[in-house]
Structure 1
């Protein structure tokens, strides 16, 4: 089954928060959204054109406080309706996780395969680095309960990511320990 294109909804949600430029949106994917969703820079601009064409957002180009011409995107009522409909729809299927590391493991048949130890150790390093990053983000963004209350969904996503990375790192450490026996 083909996966649904969720990029328009992400862009509508980000633009609904405040008018943004394509560059602003790209930065969101490099920081907050990038913790759980990735997209290519070119996809953002293609989707913005489609959203303008479908009248879900409007664009305004001009000089805003500096000498650089910028194009800001704002959500329309039609865009708000689309976003609200999506927010209250529920998917009845789990999304398949495409994980190249897991795919490589699938094709390793022998626990003595020389690639296995390096593969597991490299993944452990990556997941521990990711865990450290997520913990730093949690401290920076949610150091008190008011910040949690003001953006509870984001807090839950970050908490979930930290738990996921903890579990993944523990599983890798266990697998590495099993190889040592």
Structure 2
């Protein structure tokens, strides 16, 4: 099964959700480390239903709007738990278009390189600021058995990643600035 399937199973293990709710989670909480398009989520929910991993109840909203609220089946919960217990080696390095450009940046003049690096710096700083603002909701480490603990440690990792990337970009800007 795809990682997307397991991510959806994990969300549904917390609470029953509509496809829209799941999509929102991918745009907010999960966006720190995983992304999925609306169309991928709905397609995966259909497959998961066909595979017996989830079930749904139809809720009426307003006068005629029907919403499917998905929940885990016992099969789905067992599959999620098996996957959570797996000890796997780290994956290949994630694709990063900007780093590929920097790899070949010797073909660019220094002012273009610095401009690109400064733009990356600005974007990473914006992301770091957003992550730090999100972290303000945690005055302390949440209990280890709460859903919020996982969010906390992943958020903390995302902050460290952004800080590390900013450090790297600043070094690259420094290298280029020494030669101008």
Residue number in structure 1 paired with 2:176: 179
CA contact (8 A) 1:59 1:74 kept: yes
Count of aligned pairs between the two proteins: 175
TM-score for both structures, normalised by structure 1:
0.89
Partner of residue 81 from structure 1, selected from 50, 64, 78 = 78
Shift of 1:94: 2.5
What pairs with 1:51-90 in structure 2 (closer than 5 Å)? 51-63=48-60, 66-67=62-63, 68-90=65-87
- Separation in 2 of the partners of 1:102 and 1:58? 42
Residue number in structure 2 paired with 1:46: 43
**Relative contact order, CA 8 A, sep 6+: which one is greater?**
2
TM-score for both structures, normalised by structure 2:
0.90
Shift of 1:96: 2.2
Residue number in structure 1 paired with 2:129: 132
- Separation in 2 of the partners of 1:69 and 1:113? 57
CA contact (8 A) 2:121 2:166 kept: yes
Residue number in structure 2 paired with 1:157: 154
Shift of 1:143: 1.9
- Unpaired runs of 5+ residues, structure 2, are none
CA contact (8 A) 2:110 2:176 kept: no
Shift of 1:154: 1.7
What pairs with 1:138-149 in structure 2 (closer than 5 Å)? 138-140=135-137, 142-145=138-141, 147=142, 149=144
User: Residues 78-123 of structure 1, C-alpha deviation per residue, up to 9 Å, x if partnerless?
Assistant: 0011001100012124232111100111122257444311110110
CA contact (8 A) 1:131 1:162 kept: yes
Matched, 1:18 2:15: yes
- Unpaired runs of 5+ residues, structure 1, are none
- Separation in 1 of the partners of 2:174 and 2:155? 28
Secondary structure of 2:69's match? Answer: strand
CA RMSD of aligned residues (A): 1.7
